[in-house]
Amino acid sequence: MKHFKLLFAFLALFGAMNANAQTDVTSQYVVNPGFEACTPATGNQAAGKTTTGIDYTDDGWTFLYDHGAETWAMSAVLSYGTDGQINGAAIPAKDNEGNTGNALGVSVGWGHSFYYQSATAITLPAGHYDLKVYAYNNNNGATQLKSLFGFVATNGTSYLSTKTSFTQGEWVTDVVSFDLTEDTEGKFQIGGQAISGGSGSNAKVFFDNISLTYTDPAQAIKDAYNKALQEAKDAIANEDYNNVTGEERSSLEDAISTYDEITSGYEDATTALKDATSAFTAAKSAYDAYVAAIQYPELPYASAEKKAAVEQACGESPATASEATEKTAAIYQALRAYYERTTVGHGQATRTIHATLSLGLILKERRITCTSTVVTGVVQDGPPRWSKKSLSQLVNTC
């Protein structure tokens, strides 16, 4: 009779998966996700040379650890609002939703690992999954802990959390998202690994309310397309990128126009939109530098020849980011000569140098905005020779 019930459950799940883009499949795949089937321990469950975490294989979770961890670690299921503790850290009064019940507490130190895996392997269909658990750290002053939460495939591939810190005194979520391209057998895993120091230097975490959400492959592909399209639209509308006026902008505009409101070919569209958006945003610094360079001041005593050289270097607006970079370098070279040859009048030994530094002129890497600032320098023996170092000292007046 049990086999027939499992078959009916699978058929119901299959129908639900095809009827909905996203489906909560926790009850179909995660055994005892809230640890309610476990018998809770009482009092302080402390680490010791002869103690290990409590095993709950009969309730769906098998205890595992690396050799030597037992001296510095402990794990057990406790009940909310009781005197239960894990290595001196008390379990909170209620879960993340304000309910009573059980939670799994984990404390570990000195680089060791304490964790649990599903007692029995299950097979997940191909698709996108979001695996989530709520966590509460009750070790005052310590937040570090490497989460071992995730899904471990039988073939050796692991999809584990990247979380390494748990805020003290509040419920937080730990989420692992992963994609399976084919039916995959494996086990769910939960626990932690100490990062440095003893158990007192690492978070003492209570885990509860595991959930698993499934998205069918076709919908996952479409969701990725919708995300890429929105990011492209956001980038093109962002005023911070107004200086990007060349091929990178036109390419992104073309991609948006081409792939907006399509009904097929989502994967190719996603790739094209991401590539165009990446090229567009990466071009910003080159175009910004060019715009800063062309906003040079008019100097009343500059020679016509040097001024013409600057204007020639500015030329037409660049067509690409690389061209913008080349033009910027040429402009700075011409501007240096433009400033150095500026004089008060012909035949005078004393020459006055006026430099208006605007939007990071000369030292473009400083990203400085400084308008209408005039710096005057006087020399006795011919025109000064300014290096970038000396110009950087002038920038400090901005």
> What's the average model confidence in pLDDT over 278-290?
96
> What's the average model confidence in pLDDT over 124-135?
97
What are the phi and psi torsion angles at 98 (to 5°)? Answer: 85, 15
Q: Look at 95 and 294; give whichever has higher pLDDT.
A: 95
What are the phi and psi torsion angles at 76 (to 5°)? Answer: -170, 160
Instruction: For tokens 């067509």, name the residue.
Output: 319
State which H helix or E strand residue 355 sits in: strand 351-356
Q: Which tokens hold the place of 252?
A: 């992104």
Closest CA to 34 of 116, 103, 125: 103
Cβ(58)–Cβ(77) below 8 Å: no
What whole-number distance in Å separates Cα of residue 101 and Cα of residue 208? 10
SS3 186: strand
- Residues 38-97: tens digit of each pLDDT: 999 999 999 876 678 999 999 999 999 987 777 789 999 999 999 999 999 999 999 999
pLDDT for position 301:
56
Is the pLDDT confidence value at 2 over 50? Answer: no
What whole-number distance in Å separates Cα of residue 109 and Cα of residue 50? 16
pLDDT for position 50:
61
Is the pLDDT confidence value at 162 over 80? Answer: yes
Is the pLDDT confidence value at 397 over 70? Answer: no
- Residues 148-161: tens digit of each pLDDT: 999 999 999 999 99
Q: Where are the beta strands (DSSP E) in 161-297?
A: 171-180, 184-193, 205-215
Q: Which tokens hold the place of 293?
A: 């360079």
Instruction: Give the single-character DSSP code of 217.
Output: H
Closest CA to 102 of 17, 42, 51, 27: 42
SS3 196: coil
Please, which pLDDT band fits residue 172 given cuts at 50, 70 and 90?
A: very high
What whole-number distance in Å separates Cα of residue 92 and Cα of residue 81? 6
SS3 290: helix
pLDDT for position 300:
59
Q: Which tokens hold the place of 131?
A: 């695996």
360 φψ region: left (φ > 0), alpha (ψ -120 to 50), beta (else)? left
Q: Look at 101 and 389; give whichever has higher pLDDT.
A: 101
Instruction: For tokens 């004393």, name the residue.
Output: 350
What whole-number distance in Å separates Cα of residue 75 and Cα of residue 55? 9
pLDDT for position 56:
98
What whole-number distance in Å separates Cα of residue 215 and Cα of residue 127? 6
Instruction: For tokens 């097929």, name the residue.
Output: 264
What whole-number distance in Å separates Cα of residue 24 and Cα of residue 214? 6
Strand partners, 190: 116
DSSP 1-30: -HHHHHHHHHHHHHHHHHH-SEEE-HHHH-
Strand partners, 77: 104
- Residues 211-270: tens digit of each pLDDT: 999 998 888 899 999 999 999 999 999 999 999 999 999 999 999 999 999 999 999 999
What whole-number distance in Å separates Cα of residue 207 and Cα of residue 204? 10
Instruction: For tokens 């001041």, name the residue.
Output: 297
- Residues 21-41: tens digit of each pLDDT: 789 999 999 999 999 999 999
Cβ(352)–Cβ(339) below 8 Å: no
Closest CA to 41 of 99, 105, 89: 105
Q: Which tokens hold the place of 149?
A: 């939460």
SS3 388: helix
